[in-house]
Every structure is written in structure tokens, then in C-alpha cells.
Structure 1
Amino acid sequence: MAYKRPTFEKFKQTGLEDTVVKAGHDALPTSFCMKRQMIALRKSSGVTQEQMADLLGTKKSNISRLESLNSSISPRLATVEDYARVLGYSVRIKFEPQTY
């Protein structure tokens, strides 16, 4: 019988059932989560980083840096709004009470 790899979603679901893993996931910085979502939106729209750069009138290296999950630099809100707009989305900011 051949080994079947779990999908990422199944892997994530299983991992988040572990309270330690879930606590670590929930503590991820907002910018990290935002960048992951931006990348997912771009990819689901079938747009490459090169195409995104063309749409925004910039260079691919700027898109790469904008999407970098390891970067501690946060993009300007106007940049995020432009990024979303060219993909057919808008940005909504929601403030939530902190939970400890």
C-alpha cells in the first residue's frame, strides 16, 4: 500500500489540535499573517510576482520583499491597499481586544 501524504490543510488542522502548536500559531505577528494572506490571494488569482510588479508599476524584487515572511519591515497601508485592489479585493482593518 502506497503512502499518501496529507494535504497541507489536513496537516494544519491536525497540528492546531495540539494546544502548544495552537498557542504558537495564535501568537504569530499580524504582519506575518497578513503577508501569508497576500501571497495566497496573489497565487489564487494566478498572478506571478513579476506580473504583480507590472500591475503595481514596480519591480519584482519589491514584491518579493513585500511578501517576505522573514522581514520585520511592515508595508505602508497604501501599498497593501494597492496590492489588494489590483487583485480585486479591498482591505478592512479590524481591532480586536487582546486575549491573554
Structure 2
Amino acid sequence: MTHKRPTFDTFKQTALKDPEVKVEYDALSTAFEMKRQMIALRKRAGVTQEQMAALLGTKKSNISRLESLNSSISPRLATVEDYARVLGYSVKIEFEPRTH
């Protein structure tokens, strides 16, 4: 008898039925999306991580850590605001009602 392995999408759907997993997934999803947008803004501006570090008065390693999609470290809001400001953007935060 051959067992078919579940696909990632099937696994994800099953896992997200657990309320605790869903809360953690949503929290990580927000941070991931923010970092993805930060990287896109920097690249669109034609700014390297080294240049970004100079603009913010920090080291390239700090920019790498800030942008890391695998990092569990959450940046301070002031850091994100400074990052956006030097690229000509501002940060907007919205609160949405929970759906569960």
C-alpha cells in the first residue's frame, strides 16, 4: 500500500486550524511582509546594504540582520521609521480586528 505524502499546502491548511499555530503564523507573516517590503524599497532606490548602513550611521551587518527574513528579532519601530525616512518614505501602521 502506497501512502501519498501530504503537500505543503495541505500541511499548512491542517496546521492553521490550530488557533495557537494560526496566531503565531499571522505574527510571523506580518514581520516577514514588512521586511520583504523594506528590502524592495531599498533595492528600488538603488541603495546597497553598505550604503544603507552609512545613511543610518550603522554597520552593514546590522542592516543584514534587520532585513533578514529568517531572523526572529523584531526591529524597534524607530529603526523602521529611520529606514523608511532615508529612502523617502514614512511608516503607516493600521490595526485590524481579529477574525477569530
**What TM-score, normalized by structure 2, do the two folds share?**
0.72
Hey, what's the Cα distance between the residues in 2 that align with 1:99 and 1:62? 35
Matched, 1:30 2:30: yes
- Number of residue pairs matched by the alignment: 80
Q: Which consecutive residues of structure 1, in runs of 5 or more, have no partner in the other structure?
A: 1-19
Tell me which residue corresponds to 1:16.
none
Tell me which residue corresponds to 1:59.
59
| 1:97 positional shift | 1.5
Amino acid at match of 2:95: F
CA-based RMSD of the aligned residues comes to: 2.1
Hey, what's the Cα distance between the residues in 2 that align with 1:59 and 1:67? 13
Hey, what's the Cα distance between the residues in 2 that align with 1:34 and 1:96? 16
Q: How high is the sequence identity, in percent, across the aligned residues? A: 80
Hey, what's the Cα distance between the residues in 2 that align with 1:31 and 1:83? 15
Q: Which consecutive residues of structure 2, in runs of 5 or more, have no partner in the other structure?
A: 1-8, 17-24
Amino acid at match of 1:36: R
Question: What secondary structure sits across from 2:66 in the alignment?
Answer: helix
Tell me which residue corresponds to 1:72.
72
Tell me which residue corresponds to 1:14.
none
* Runs of 4+ in structure 1 over 6 Å off: none
Amino acid at match of 2:56: L
**What TM-score, normalized by structure 1, do the two folds share?**
0.72
Structure showing greater Rg: 2
